[in-house]
């Protein structure tokens, strides 16, 4: 009689223990026949299956590894960047919301603070600075419907919440303004969203956003810090020196600033830095200039009005009025660059040239000794 156990022992060296076909998968008492070829076919098929399974797993594993590595590096970048760069940050509390709303992350760097799709106006608000010198501060004021203006600074809350969800108890912000203090080299810009008026333009610091007693209550807010141009000399102003501040844009045919263009806020910040941080005895003349197109008398009037507008803005910002001895306009009589005749160059090129002549200048009437 055939001893099957001896056959098993003889073939055992050909198979790893986990693939031992005789001892693991067959009942030798019922085995009638087998061939070595059948075993090789079985082993080959099994190997192909394992290779297919391995190939199928390769792409998901690589994708997972890529995502993990990207997440780690992205998180590290945000942590180090946010920890070292200066920021303005802000929070809002929605009328009828729970106190836990203050537990949300601070908004910063143009983040939208608020959800204007909810229909809930901002009832309380606060702002703060991060990674600026210790002396730097931010002041802000909000106009609360039925309560008037309230002021605060450096993270303090400006509005006392009603904490009542009923519609007739809602007291939302109708207007807001903010200003940096003791933060040389930086300026602040912000804008707000109102259900009726939509998003306002970006405004320079100290400029009011929204209208008190309008009934249109703010439901979203954005703010950002900008770096003032460090190339402007502010401590070596000498009598007779003149500095051009191009790119302070005004609305067409108006003395109103065009804050839709970010250069306006940034160059106003340069003027502020130049005048405010120079010596106390400094006296300057603010001069307005225009390009040559249009009526000469209208341009003269606009240049005068625009120079006055810059003075008003500086005084509202806290510049000592005694530092501004006079404002004056020159219309198009003192161009920075000569304007070619209309039709001699393309309209686009002509506008680029004219743009350089629409400017504000600072003349040092009395310098720092």
Out of 227, 257, 273, pick the residue that ends a domain.
Answer: 227
Q: What is the pLDDT of residues 320-355, one digit of tens each?
A: 999 999 999 999 898 888 888 878 899 888 888 888
Share of the chain above pLDDT 70, in %: 71
Residue 113 region, left (φ>0) first, then alpha (ψ -120 to 50), else beta? beta
Report how far residue 36's alpha carbon sits from residue 64's, in angstroms, rounded to the nearest whole number: 42
Task: Check residue 83 and give its pLDDT.
Answer: 55
Q: Is the domain of 99 the same as that of 222?
A: yes
Radius of gyration of the chain (CA): 36
CB-based contacts of 218, cutoff 8 Å, min separation 6? 114, 121, 122, 172, 173, 174, 175, 176, 192, 193, 194, 209, 210
pLDDT value of residue 336:
86
- Give the model's pLDDT for residue 56: 57
Residues 221 and 289 grouped into a single domain: no
Are 98 and 166 members of one domain?
Answer: yes
Instruction: Tell me which range, 150-164, 191-205, 235-249, 298-312, is most confidently predicted by mean pLDDT.
Output: 298-312
The number of domains in the chain is 2
Q: Please indicate, yes or no, whether residues 163 and 109 belong to a single structural domain of this protein.
A: yes
Are residues 273 and 351 both part of a single domain?
Answer: yes
* Cβ-contact 300, 331 below 8 angstroms: yes
Residue 48 lies in a domain: no
Contact 4, 28 (CB under 8 A): yes
pLDDT, position 15: 45
Residue 92 lies in a domain: yes
* Distance set, CA 312 to CA 37, 268, 309 (Å): 99, 12, 5
Do 167 and 257 sit in the same domain of this protein?
no
Going by C-beta distance under 8 Å and a sequence separation of 6 or more, which residues neighbour residue 66? none
Considering only CA atoms, which of 183, 368, 356 is closest in space to residue 272? Answer: 183
Considering only CA atoms, which of 138, 152, 135 is closest in space to residue 108?
Answer: 138
- Torsion angle (degrees, nearest 10) of CA 294, 298, 304, 308: -100
Q: Give residue 138's pLDDT.
A: 95
Q: pLDDT, tens digit, for every residue of 35-73?
A: 444 444 444 455 555 555 555 556 667 778 777 787 766
188 and 126 in a common domain: yes
Measured from the Cβ of residue 158, the count of other Cβ atoms closer than 10 Å reads: 20
Q: Can you tell me whether residue 65 is helix, strand or coil?
A: helix
Range of the domain at 190: 86-227
Q: Which residue has the tokens 């000794």?
A: 369
Q: Do 221 and 283 sit in the same domain of this protein?
A: no
Place of tokens 């942590």: 79
147 vs 127, higher pLDDT? 127
From the number of C-beta atoms within 10 Å of its C-beta (0-12, 13-18, 19+), residue 103 rates as exposed
CATH of the domain at 340: 3.30.1330.60
Give the span between the Cα atoms of 366 and 282, in whole angstroms.
Answer: 6
């Amino acid at each position: 009689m055939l001893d099957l156990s001896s056959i098993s022992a003889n073939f055992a060296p050909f198979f790893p223990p986990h693939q031992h076909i005789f001892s693991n998968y067959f009942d030798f008492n019922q085995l009638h026949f087998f061939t070595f070829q059948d075993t090789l076919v079985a082993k080959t098929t099994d190997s192909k299956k394992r290779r297919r399974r391995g190939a199928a797993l390769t792409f998901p594993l690589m994708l997972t590894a890529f995502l993990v590595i990207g997440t780690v590096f992205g998180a590290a970048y945000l942590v180090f960047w946010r920890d070292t760069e200066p920021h303005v940050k802000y929070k809002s509390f929605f009328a009828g919301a729970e106190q836990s709303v203050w537990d949300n992350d601070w908004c910063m760097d143009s983040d939208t603070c608020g959800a204007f799709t909810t229909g809930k106006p901002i009832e309380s608000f606060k702002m703060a600075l991060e990674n600026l010198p210790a002396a730097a501060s931010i002041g802000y004021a909000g106009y609360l419907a039925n309560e008037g203006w309230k002021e605060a600074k450096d993270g303090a809350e400006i509005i006392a919440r009603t904490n009542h969800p009923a519609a007739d108890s809602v007291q939302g912000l109708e207007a807001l303004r903010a200003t940096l203090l003791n933060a040389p080299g930086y300026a602040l810009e912000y804008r707000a969203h109102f259900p009726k008026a939509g998003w306002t333009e970006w405004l320079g610091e100290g400029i009011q956003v929204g209208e008190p007693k309008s009934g249109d209550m703010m439901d979203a807010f954005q703010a950002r810090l900008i770096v003032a141009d460090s190339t402007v000399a502010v401590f070596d102003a000498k009598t007779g020196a003149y500095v051009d501040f191009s790119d302070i844009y005004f609305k067409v045919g108006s003395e109103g600033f065009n804050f839709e263009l970010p250069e306006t806020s940034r160059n106003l910040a340069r003027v502020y830095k130049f005048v405010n941080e120079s010596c106390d005895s400094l006296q300057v003349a603010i001069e307005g200039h225009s390009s040559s197109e249009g009526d000469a008398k209208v341009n003269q009037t606009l240049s005068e009005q625009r120079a006055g507008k810059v003075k008003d803005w500086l005084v509202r910002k806290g510049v000592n009025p005694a530092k501004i001895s006079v404002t004056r306009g020159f219309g198009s009589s003192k161009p920075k660059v000569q304007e070619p005749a209309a039709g001699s160059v393309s309209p686009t090129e002509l506008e680029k040239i004219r743009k350089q002549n629409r400017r504000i200048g600072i003349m040092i009437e009395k310098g720092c000794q």
